[in-house]
Amino acid sequence: MSNSTQHTISKILRKTPNKTLSVSTRQAKQLHAHIVKTKGTLHSDNILVLSLYSNLNLLQHSLHLFNSLPSPPPPLAWSSIIKCYTSHSLLHLSFSSFNSMRSLSVPPNRHVFPSLLKASTLLKHHKLAHSLHACTVRLGLDSDLYIANALINTYAKFHNAGKVFDVFPKRGESGIDCVKKVFDMMPVRDVVSWNTVIAGFAQNGMYVEALDMVREMGKNGKLKPDSFTLSSILPIFAEHVDVNKGKEIHGYAVRNGFDGDVFIGSSLIDMYAKCNRLECSLRAFYILPRKDAISWNSIIAGCVQNGEFDRGLGFFRRMLKENVKPMAVSFSSVIPACAHLTALSLGRQLHGCIVRLGFDDNEFIASSLVDMYAKCGNIKMARYVFDRIDKRDMVAWTAIIMGCAMHGHALDAVSLFENMLEDGVRPCYVAFMAVLTACSHAGLVDEGWRYFNSMERDFGIAPGLEHYAAVADLLGRAGRLEEAYDFISNMRGVQPTGSVWSILLAACRAHKSVELAEKVLDKLLSVDSENMGAYVLMSNIYSAAQRWKDAARLRIHMRKKGLKKTPACSWIEVGNQVHTFMAGDKSHPYYDKINKALDVLLEQMEKEGYVIDTNQVLHDVDEELKRELLHNHSERLAIAYGIISTTAGTTIRVIKNIRVCADCHTAIKFITKIVGREITVRDNSRFHHFKNGSCSCGDYW
């Protein structure tokens, strides 16, 4: 045996005070061989090797050695094997070993309890944790530093679950109460004790207490916040969107050399991203000397949460390229990017990966898939994924309800909402947004009112801007304009914004009420004088009423204020390319073919009874020009391109940035019949599925 190995052995056997004794697997095996050769398999030094194997997480080696020990193995051997089981997540084996140990009358030593407490925490098994706690009390070990630290961790993790099951030692005592009790009675506390309590407070939303503890910790002797402390409290500033406090912590981390720590790194990335400082997140990401899967997850999620969808996808690709194995979280972070980009084929590919990696039962992923399929126009697939979710939580329900709402399946949305209630899932703020949206898209006025009234009364959720907007939309579209006006004027808790008034303004346009529109516009401009949408809408209302002078006056006013209309734009994915069209856009290389196809279609449409609705052209121009303007609306160009560039029978999916115009809506119904294809158009509020001459919205939109 070499000198260096001899040195290692003597170092190990001398029980060096160095706690993190680093021994390689090879060294441990050599030591084992040496001991077996010189002292035999039964010598007690083998137990030291077992603890080395256990620390190295070598389950097979540990087990093999453990089984070769004379019976009954001593306490140290048991604590080593139990630790190994726990760190391999073989939690039931941890407990069955503990039982065997006791049935062999081996007295449990202090070292078994932390591993067992950890196992009970991972199993979320409250009763086990309590009996372990009781056991340590009987043995007088409950204030042992390591055991108390483990107890604090266990109780902190059970805090929320404890309220539900009411299993804490004394009725009405929460997990955090137990945390405090254990912490208070400890004769000696170390930095781990403080960090565990701080993390417990932080993870349970007790931010004031967490930050107080950090200050207290500094005062109390020599303990200084370390990297563990910082990574526990950074999420507080992320949630509170307090970038200044977050920066202070960042500064402290830099001064103390923690800024390259992977844990702090991902907290910093997340904190800056949640504070809308994506550039700072990127900097924190790039300076990390070593990036793990969570660092990648954080930057991907950060990009996606800040609307940088392509960037988020780019980081996901780079993560794969650098051979970092994606985790379930990686997928639930990146799928929403596909949803927002309407990238159906990419979303499908990712779904494939998810299934292959066995992540398809993850509830976060499932909900994001439901939403992605719905937003990409495939409501059937959204429903398929939803139906296969084992445990449907509120987010999953909300995703499918919102999906149905967007696709105009209002009755499905309403009955799903009822099913959710029957399932005992409490609806939240967003769930009510979804069901109210469904009602407004289908004109279910009574149902909408019922839900609106029940949210505060039955569920204690105060209606927010989105709910008021949905009800205003519901009333407005149904033509109950005065009622909607009163409803908005009497909003409680929140002030009506320009966007809520615009909803009513749009309804005034649909129901041709110039008088109320003028009243609404006044209200709107008083809260949002720069709202260009309002000017456009009002000028369109005047135009539709042939009040060209008023319309022109508004447009001049807009121009003076430097407000510009959002240009209408539609796009379609053909092959792997996105083709974008503006109204009257002649820049597409196939423009001539597109135009010709539209001419042919128009001829056939008119034979079928289509009459152009030139009222939809809101300029004071002659009829011929009006025809041409409508003929060149962006959605028609995109659809025509889809027809000539894909094989017969392929569904055409078009997306438009603003609402589809009424004449185009009629025209597309004719087109779908003539070409025998399904056409899906997603505008900024919903999907229209055109098939065989009709639209899924039932012309109510």
Given the complex with DNA, which of 233 and 444 has the nearer CB atom?
A: 233
Count of residues binding DNA (CB under 7 A)? 86
Q: Report the site for DNA in 56-95 (rule: CB under 7 A).
A: 75-76, 79-80, 83, 86-87
x/- mask, DNA, residues 553-592, rule CB under 7 A, reads ----------------------------------------
Using the CB atoms, write b or e for 552-571: b if 16+ within 10 Å. eebbeebeeeebeeeebbbb
List the one residue from 235, 448, 476, 533 that touches DNA (CB under 7 A): 235
The nearest distance, CB 110 to DNA, in angstroms, is 5
| Out of 108, 265, 448, 496, the residue judged to bind DNA by CB under 7 A | 265
Per-residue b or e along 506-534, where b marks 16 or more CB atoms closer than 10 Å to that residue's CB? bbbbeeebeebbeebbebbbeebeebebb
**Interface positions, 616-675, toward DNA (CB under 7 A):** none
What one-character DSSP code corresponds to residue 620? S
Residue 160 binds DNA, judged by CB under 7 A: no
In the region spanning residues 309 to 368, those forming contacts with DNA, defined by CB under 7 A, are 327-329, 332-333, 335-336, 339, 362-365, 367-368
8, 196, 306, 632: which one binds DNA (CB under 7 A): 196
Tell me if 19 contacts DNA by CB under 7 A: yes
Spell out where 408-553 has E strands.
none
d(CA 496, CA 231): 40
Smallest distance from DNA to CB 268, Å: 9
Rounded to 5 degrees, what are φ and ψ at 325?
-70, 125
Which range in 93-101, 298-306, 315-323, 350-358 contacts DNA by CB under 7 A? 298-306
Tell me the torsion sign for CA atoms 218, 221, 223, 229.
negative
Locate 92 and state its tokens.
């039931």
CB closer to DNA, 285 vs 487: 285
CB 198 → DNA: shortest distance, Å?
Answer: 8
Of 62, 120, 136, 305, which one interacts with DNA (CB under 7 A)? 305
Instruction: Of 417, 409, 405, 341, give the one whose Cα is nearest residue 372.
Output: 341
Angle 433-437-438 from CA coordinates, rounded to 5°: 120
> Binding to DNA (CB under 7 A): which residues in 112-131?
114-115, 118
Residue 652 DSSP code: E
**97 is a site residue for DNA (CB under 7 A):** no
Burial per residue of 101-116, b for 16 or more beta-carbon CB atoms within 10 angstroms, e otherwise? beeeebebebbbbbbb
Q: Write down the least CB distance from residue 158 to DNA, Å.
A: 12
Of 402 and 538, the one with the shorter C-beta distance to DNA is 402
Query: Considering only residues 205-234, where is the footprint of DNA by CB under 7 A?
Result: 226-232, 234
Q: Nearest-5° angle of CA 230, CA 236, CA 239?
A: 140
Stretch that binds DNA, among 26-34, 143-151, 565-573, 667-675 (CB under 7 A): 143-151
Rounded to the nearest angstrom, the gap between the alpha carbon of residue 103 and the centroid of all alpha carbons in its chain is 48
The closest of 230, 144, 236 to 193, measured between CA atoms, is 144
- Of 263, 459, 590, 591, the one binding DNA (CB under 7 A) is 263
User: CA 645, CA 591: separation in Å to the nearest integer?
Assistant: 12
**Residue 283 in tokens:** 């900097």
Ranges within 361-400 binding DNA (CB under 7 A): 362-365, 367-368, 371, 393-396, 398-399
| Spatial distance between the Cα atoms of 192 and 145, rounded to a whole number of angstroms | 9
Question: Quick one: which segment of 184-192, 313-321, 572-580, 582-590 binds DNA (CB under 7 A)?
Answer: 184-192
How many other β-carbons are positioned within 10 Å of the β-carbon of residue 611?
Answer: 9
Q: How distant is the alpha carbon of residue 523 from its chain centre? A: 36
| HSE, side-chain direction, 13 A CA sphere, residue 390 | 6
**Binding region for DNA (CB under 7 A) out of 146-154, 165-173, 444-452, 659-667:** 146-154
Cα 451 to Cα 463: distance, rounded to the nearest angstrom: 11
Contacts of 108 (CB under 8 A, 6+ apart): 75, 78, 98, 101, 102, 135, 139
Position among 301, 472, 484, 504 found at the interface with DNA (CB under 7 A): 301
Binding to DNA (CB under 7 A) within 422-481 occurs at 428-431
- Comparing CB distances to DNA, the nearer of 214 and 675 is 214
Site string for DNA, 31-60 (x = CB under 7 A): --------------------x--xx-----
The smaller minimum CB distance to DNA, of residues 168 and 417, is found at 417
Q: d(Cα 98, Cα 412) in Å, to the nearest integer?
A: 52
What tokens were used for 244? 């200044």
In whole angstroms, the minimum distance from the beta carbon of 461 to DNA comes to 11
Q: How far is the CB of 173 from DNA (least distance, A)?
A: 21
Choose one: 191-199, 350-358, 458-466, 654-662; the region binding DNA (CB under 7 A). Answer: 191-199
Q: Which of 72, 90, 135, 146 binds DNA (CB under 7 A)?
A: 146
Nearer to DNA, 118 or 509 (CB): 118
Please list, in sequence order, all residues whose beta carbon lies within 8 angstroms of the beta carbon of residue 257, skipping any fewer than 6 positions away: none
Q: Which of residues 504-543 bind DNA (CB under 7 A)?
A: none
Q: Per DSSP, which regions of 55-188 are E strands?
A: none
